Structure 1
Amino acid sequence: MGNSMLVFIFWFLIAVIFYTYAGYPVCLLIVSSFKKRDVKKGVYEPRVSVVVSAFNEEKAIEQKLLNLLELNYPTEKLEILIGSDGASDRTDEIVSRFHSPRIRFFRFVKNFGKPHVLNALLEEACGEIIVFTDVRQELDYESIHALAANFKDPEVGCVSGELCFKTEARSILGHVGKGMDLYWRYEKFLRKKESEIGSMLGATGAIYAIRRSLFCPVPLDILVDDMYVPLSIVERGYRAVFESRALAYDRPSERGGEEFKRKVRTLAGNYQIFLHFLNFFMPWKSPIAWQLFSHKFLRVIAPFSLFGLLASNLFILSHPFYFWFFLAQILF
């Protein structure tokens, strides 16, 4: 391969990496400034079903249920469905202590996996609106009202809330907590702008809601339901939007290894999503082709882009600039 071709590859990959992390957000900011689609929100209090899949959550399930029971929403219009996915700890015992008529508890004899539990709970749910949430996070007092207001707009099929990390957690956990907080600020900016110009590509699993009538069973092998469910709704012509007032509070993991495992799972889940929604990459068929390619696909292949940059740089070290750039890559 000629030297000029290697130089071209080097600069092409520089451009791809720059666009992935900086260029795309700038483009979103520009596009949203003149192509903003407002959501026609209004007071709306439909019957709501909150669904939670739990597996060995004895440390957090009690606080989660107390949190859900305290939410500001008409008591007669809110039900809570808990699915214990073959728990082997005290999760079932703890949930059974709650005698609220709003809590409906379903035990599964073995660990079938989250998609199976969600599909089963949705068959039992009575609400017009379904709210998905994880055990670990607490929901804000007004979060259900904030989500529901968006469904006043008939074009909206899915609404994602906002995941926030508690201030004290960020200060205690140091670099891991601060890193997670920075990542989520960046990610929320992208989701907000994507929502403004049409639809987001996914939701936060901590808090998101859909119209019950639009739910399709989640394939049992899916790793990221919070991306599959919104995209399946967008596929049918509805919008998936971001609601910054619907808050869920979390503490970042104290161990970087746990966050790494989550990232690996999300990465694998993204590959699954690409295969399930290949038609979304076709601009003539999909209103979110640009967003999906820029936000998700380029992010997924970023490690390969970085490796390609390093490899191409290795063969053009004769020029001082490329030598120092290569050294910087090795060091950092």
Structure 2
Amino acid sequence: MDLLYKIIFYINGFIIVWAMVGYPVSLKIIGKLFKKRELKKDFSHQPTTTVMVVAHNEEKVILEKLNNIIELNYPKEKIEFLIASDNSTDKTNEIVKQFVKEHQNFNIRLYEVKKRKGKTNAQNEAQKTVKTEFLVMTDANSILDKDSVKELMAAFTSEDIAYVSGRLSIVNQTSSDVSSAEASYWDSDLATREIEGRIQTVTAGNGALYACRTKDYYDFDPIQCHDSSMPLLYALQGKRAIANHDAIAYEKAGEVIEDEFGRKVRMNRIILKHILPDIRILNIFKYKWFSYFYFGHRTCRYLLWISHLLVFITNALLLSESWFYVVMFVGQALFYLLALVRAITKSNNKYLTLVYYYCVTILAQWVGVYSILTGKAKPFWEKAESTR
């Protein structure tokens, strides 16, 4: 049995270390080997484009968003604006209708989803009314840089590029230790995505800002989200999903741990399917770097919840084997204890906060798995007020 425990311990230990340290470091090395590969842009590429904003009860931010998108630096005759209201019951629809009435020189329209089924369903329904060549999608609480759409379109330099993700910039990273931890996570993840997209394809985008060809749009199940599903779909089709981080969306991160925890639980509502969503990913001869990227950036991260538990349990069962297992077990116990201390004391210590934030992320994965197994996972959620 000890041999089995050791096998489980080392396999899951590798998954944790590879996800958090090994893969990011390896990617930096690979990025240097491919440093001559740069993102190409063609700013003369300005096709007809629809900017879709999905909103559910966003009366607090929708007017600011509307004023933001009509100021985008893009040919007025080539851009349309579509607000997909996911069964909003507050004043969101009224505000949009009034705005449309007052700005008839812009091509703005409202699509009202009659039954709330979540963001992806609202996008699926509204997309069927789109006639432009390209579709840019953004959230109601994200403020776009004036050149963001122009930058996204400039990155579609070849037919094999099916998806371009912009960069999410956290504007309130100094507001709290929670938003600071989230900003740190995004900074490291953006660096990873930049290299992945430059070499071949990213493994995920972000919901704040991304674009695709209208003809390439796919009706995903409402429980899925475009952030993780679109790049995967296109990669398996032999197309590329890339990142242009000069296309910027500004957004607030959750300032309280409850908001960030809730957001991460939502992100993990289909975590089990995304560990290995398609067996074809393993075919490195066909999908090349994408197989490597997905395993390191997605599969290993989506296994952290179970890997941490298995490492802890098998480590406890191997304590009598050698001093190494004693040291490893004490190290794990101290790590979780530090997170507990931060939770109880509310300390602002940077390092305690990072440990705490990481443990909250793992806990959110467990809650996501529980929701899936109990049938409680849903395609919609209540927004985090601290991000508005």
TM-score higher than 0.5 here?
Answer: yes
Q: Does 1:53 align with 2:58?
A: no
Q: Which amino acid aligns with 1:13?
A: N
Q: Does 1:330 align with 2:329?
A: no
For 1:116 and 1:21, how far apart are their aligned partners in 2?
33
Q: Residue in 2 aligned with 1:264?
A: 265
Q: Residue in 1 aligned with 2:366?
A: none
Determine if contact 2:276/2:299 at 8 Å carries over to the other structure: no
Q: Residue in 2 aligned with 1:21?
A: 20
Q: Which amino acid aligns with 1:26?
A: V
Within 5 Å, give how 1:214-225 maps onto structure 2.
214-222=216-224, 224-225=225-226
Q: Which amino acid aligns with 2:163?
A: C
Q: Which amino acid aligns with 2:217?
A: F
Q: Residue in 2 aligned with 1:6?
A: 5
Q: Which amino acid aligns with 1:247?
A: I
Q: Residue in 2 aligned with 1:107?
A: 112
Displacement of 1:62 in angstroms is 0.7
Q: Give the secondary structure class of the aligned counterpart of 2:174.
A: helix
For 1:153 and 1:40, how far apart are their aligned partners in 2?
10
**CA deviation map 1:145-201 (0-9, x unaligned):** 1111111233311100000111xx22222x101110011012112111111210001
**CA deviation map 1:202-222 (0-9, x unaligned):** 211100011112112122332
Q: Residue in 2 aligned with 1:32?
A: 31
Instruction: Identify which range, 115-124 or 36-45, moves more after superposition.
Output: 36-45
For 2:5 and 2:222, how far apart are their aligned partners in 1?
44
Aligned residues: 327
Determine if contact 2:48/2:133 at 8 Å carries over to the other structure: yes
Q: Residue in 2 aligned with 1:311?
A: 313
Displacement of 1:276 in angstroms is 5.0
Instruction: Identify which range, 122-131 or 138-147, moves more after superposition.
Output: 122-131
Displacement of 1:9 in angstroms is 3.9
Q: Does 1:127 align with 2:132?
A: yes
For 1:140 and 1:195, how far apart are their aligned partners in 2?
21
Q: Residue in 2 aligned with 1:156?
A: 161
Identity of aligned residues (%): 32
Rate the CA distance shift 1:320–1:274 in 2: closer, same or farther, 3 A.
closer
Rate the CA distance shift 1:310–1:66 in 2: closer, same or farther, 3 A.
same
What root-mean-square deviation, in Å, do the aligned CA atoms of Structure 1 and Structure 2 show?
A: 1.9
For 1:241 and 1:233, how far apart are their aligned partners in 2?
11
Instruction: Identify which range, 150-159 or 64-73, moves more after superposition.
Output: 150-159
Determine if contact 1:87/1:110 at 8 Å carries over to the other structure: no
Displacement of 1:137 in angstroms is 0.9
For 1:275 and 1:294, how far apart are their aligned partners in 2?
12
Q: Does 1:186 align with 2:188?
A: yes
Within 5 Å, give how 1:168-317 maps onto structure 2.
169-173=172-176, 175-222=177-224, 224-273=225-274, 277-287=278-288, 288-317=290-319
Rate the CA distance shift 1:271–1:5 in 2: closer, same or farther, 3 A.
closer
Q: Which amino acid aligns with 1:104?
A: R
Displacement of 1:136 in angstroms is 1.0
For 2:296 and 2:80, how far apart are their aligned partners in 1?
38
Q: Give the secondary structure class of the aligned counterpart of 2:139.
A: coil
Rate the CA distance shift 1:277–1:14 in 2: closer, same or farther, 3 A.
closer
Q: Which amino acid aligns with 2:304?
A: A
Unaligned runs of 5+ in 2: 336-388
**CA deviation map 1:217-237 (0-9, x unaligned):** 122332x22221222222222
For 1:321 and 1:34, how far apart are their aligned partners in 2?
36
Displacement of 1:274 in angstroms is 5.1
Determine if contact 2:275/2:298 at 8 Å carries over to the other structure: no
Displacement of 1:66 in angstroms is 0.7
Unaligned runs of 5+ in 1: none
For 2:145 and 2:125, how far apart are their aligned partners in 1?
26
Determine if contact 2:204/2:229 at 8 Å carries over to the other structure: yes
For 1:272 and 1:104, how far apart are their aligned partners in 2?
35
Displacement of 1:68 in angstroms is 0.4
**CA deviation map 1:8-54 (0-9, x unaligned):** 54344333321111111122122232346444321211111011211
Determine if contact 1:40/1:153 at 8 Å carries over to the other structure: no
Q: Residue in 1 aligned with 2:87?
A: 86
Q: Which amino acid aligns with 2:173?
A: R
Instruction: Identify which range, 29-38 or 300-309, moves more after superposition.
Output: 29-38
For 2:65 and 2:238, how far apart are their aligned partners in 1?
34
Determine if contact 1:270/1:296 at 8 Å carries over to the other structure: no
**CA deviation map 1:42-95 (0-9, x unaligned):** 121111101121111111111111110111111111111011111111111111
Q: Residue in 1 aligned with 2:376?
A: none
